[in-house]
Amino acid sequence: MMHCHPTKYMSLLQSFRERFWFWVLIVQAISFSSIAQAQIPAAPSFPMQQVNIVVPFAAGGGTDSTARLLAQKLSEKWGKSVIVENRPGGNTVIATQMVAKAKPDGHTLLIANSTFAINPILSPNLPYDSSKDFVPIGTVAGGPFMMLVHPSVPANDLKGMLQILQSAKPGEWNFATVGGSGIGRIVGELFAIQSGTKLQHIPYKGASQIATDLLAGTVKLTIDPPNTYISHVKNGKLKALAVTGKRLASLPNVATFAEQGMPEFDVRSWYGLLAPAGTPRAIIQKISADVQEILSQPDVKDKFAALELDPMPSTPDQFQLYLRTETEKFTRVVKTANIKAAD
C-alpha cells in the first residue's frame, strides 16, 4: 500500500481548495450577471407595424408637407410603412383628440404646429389636456413670418410702414391672416403691441384667399409665412417689407425685423411631433433620435429650403421647454389683445 507524503498531500489539498473557490466565484459572477440583465428592461422592437402621422389639417400647407417628407424618410429608415392621415376640423381639435386616445405604443403620432400651444389658452374646456395627454418627441421644422403689402402702399421697408401705421387712426389699417384665432392672428397682434400700432384683424380660410385679396388691394397688409407669396413678390405684384429670423435665400434683399430696429419681434412657425401620454420612454427616444438623424441629411435640408423652412431638430426635453415658452408668450398676447376663440 502506497502512502502519500504529508507535504505532498497538503499541497494537493490546497490546490483543490483554490480550484473549488475559483469555480464558486465564477458561478456567482454568472448568476449576478443574469439577475442584473433580467432587471434591465429590454429595448422595444419598434416599429412593429404601420405608423400613422396624424395631420390636423387638409392636404397641402406647411404641416402636411412636413409630415409627408418625414413619413417618407422614416419609412425608408424603419422598413415599415409610415403614412400621413389628414384629419382636419374643429381648429385641430378633432385630430388632436384622436391621437390623445390612441394606444400609447408609438404607432400613432401627431404632427402639430403653434395651434397646439394656442388652443388651450383660448379654449380651457378642450376634450383633452395638452400638458397631460401628450408627450413631446421633438420639433421638426420651423420657418419665418413675412410682412407683405399691396404695391399701392407708400412704404418700401419696415420704417416706412411703421410711420404710416403709427400716424393712422385706430382701426384704419387692417391685416389679414388665416383663421380668427390662429398663429397668424397672434403674430399680427404681437406686432401691433410691440410697435404701438392699432390694426383691425380680418380672418381668412386660407393663405391662397389672402393672396387673392392682397393682390387685388382688398386688404393691404398681412404677416404670414412667406411661401404662398414669394412668386408675387418676385414679379412685383406684392411688396415684402420685412421677415423674421434670417433673410430668405429666395428674397435676399428683404431685411429682417431685427435689422430694421425690431429685434424683439422674433416669431416663427414650427412643426413638431407628439405621442400619446404613456408611450414608453425608450420608444420616444428612438423616434426622436431617428428624426434628428433624418433632419441632418442634405437632401432633407434642400427639400425644406424649397418650402422656406429650416430643419429644427430637438430632444423631447427641449421641445417640452419650447412648448412652455411659446404658451407663455401666446398667453400674454391673447390677454392683451383680448382674443377670443369664437373670433
Find the CATH number of the domain harbouring 308.
3.40.190.150
47 prior amide bond cis, ω within 30: yes
Closest by CA to 139, choosing from 266, 268, 46, 274, is 274
Describe the strand order of the beta sheet including 269-276 as a list of residue ranges. 82-86, 51-55, 108-112, 269-276, 134-143, 310-311
Per-residue pLDDT tens over the stretch 197-208: 999 999 988 888
Residue 194 lies in a domain: yes
pLDDT of residue 24: 46
Residue 134 bridge partners (DSSP): 276
CB-CB contact of 276 with 103 (8 Å): yes
Which contacts qualify for 102-105: CB closer than 8 Å, 24 or more apart? Answer: 102/276, 103/276, 104/275, 104/276, 104/277, 104/278, 104/279, 104/280, 105/48, 105/279, 105/280, 105/283
* pLDDT at res. 54: 98
* Residue 248 is assigned to a structural domain of this protein: no
pLDDT of residue 19: 56
Determine the pLDDT at residue 294.
98
165 and 234 share a domain?
yes
Burial class (CB in 10 A: 0-12, 13-18, 19+), 16: exposed
Low-confidence ranges of the chain (pLDDT < 50): 1-2, 8-9, 12-13, 16, 22, 24-25, 27, 29-30, 32-43, 343
Last residue of a domain, one of 227, 243, 259: 243
Q: In one letter, which amino acid is 340? A: K
Dihedral over alpha carbons 157, 158, 163, 164 (to 10 degrees): 70
- By CB atoms closer than 10 A (0-12, 13-18, 19+), residue 175 is buried
| Domain-located, residue 214 | yes
Q: Is residue 66 part of a domain?
A: yes
Position 79 in a domain: yes
Q: Kindly report the CA angle at 279 between 277 and 282, in degrees rounded to 5? A: 140
Among 243, 278, 299, identify where a domain stops. Answer: 243
Residue 65: which residues within 8 A CB-CB, separation 6 or more?
307
User: For the chain, how many structural domains are there in total?
Assistant: 2
Q: Could you tell me the residue range of the domain that residue 331 belongs to?
A: 51-142+269-337
152 within a domain of the structure (yes/no): yes
In a domain, 193, yes or no: yes
Task: Kindly report whether the global pTM for this prediction surpasses the value 0.85.
Answer: no
342: in domain: no
Q: Are residues 86 and 167 in the same domain?
A: no
